[in-house]
Amino acid sequence: MASTTPQAYENLINGTVDIIFAAGPSEEQREMAKNKGVELTLTPIGKEAFVFFVNAANPVTGLTTKQIQDIYTGSVTDWSEVGGKPGAIQAFQRPENSGSQTMLLKVMGNKQPMAAPKEDIASGMGGIISQTADYKNYKNAIGYSFLYFATEMVQNGNIRLLEVDGVKPDKKSIRDGTYPLTAEFYAVTAGSSNPHVGRFIEWIRSAQGQTLVEQTGYTPMIDSH
């Protein structure tokens, strides 16, 4: 079953599934588990880079972590302030409790991101709902995701991944830890009685399982060669 990160955690906490593969939970998801009397167990199975990207025509090739924080708090609002051409920065965000948004909050530390851009969406109930506007590849836009999801957009030539603190996000910089915004992703369980779950996690952390993690496009926890 494939779903969004919030749906995956709901399925796990509600006992619909035995195991999910996802980014780490948000504080809200941890609280949801606690309220249900469920303990989340996170087993790292691979590493991934959290990346920021801009339109391919944007001359900015990199930002520092502080510049990213300043953009997302709203204290830096124009590309000319970070080495680009004059133009208001359109800083898109992701929906609350998505893996990417949880990671942004970690990058921000104790700084609060500004209100996310919203767009009106027609709901299935015939009304209009307002929800977080996801990345649109406008010339002055910036967005973020995990490298796995951004790779296709990069290959299409539509966006450029930004260096962070002078380091380009790629397999090598994820593996050796020089890229600063690296996150583990997990096999997450919540006390399933299914006897196969433990064996499955053992396998995915074995050399064979880690080879599969790498073939899927992530960086393995161990050298699978």
- Summarised one tens digit per residue, pLDDT across range 68-121 is 999 999 999 999 999 999 999 999 999 888 889 999 999 999 999 999 889 888
pLDDT attached to residue 222 = 74
* Fold match, 5-46+182-220 / 50-169: yes
3-state SS record for 50-66:
EEEEEECCCCCCEECHH
Nearest to 176 by CA among 80, 205, 168, 84: 168
Q: Where are the domains of the chain?
A: 5-46+182-220, 50-169
pLDDT attached to residue 123 = 72
Fill in the amino acid letter for 141: A
Which residues does the chain have with pLDDT short of 50? 224-225
Report the CATH fold assignment for 50-169: D-Maltodextrin-Binding Protein; domain 2 (3.40.190)
pLDDT attached to residue 127 = 82
CB 201 within 8 A of CB 21: no
pLDDT attached to residue 223 = 64
pLDDT attached to residue 67 = 98
Model-level pTM greater than 0.85? no
Report the CATH fold assignment for 5-46+182-220: D-Maltodextrin-Binding Protein; domain 2 (3.40.190)
Nearest to 21 by CA among 180, 224, 223, 212: 212
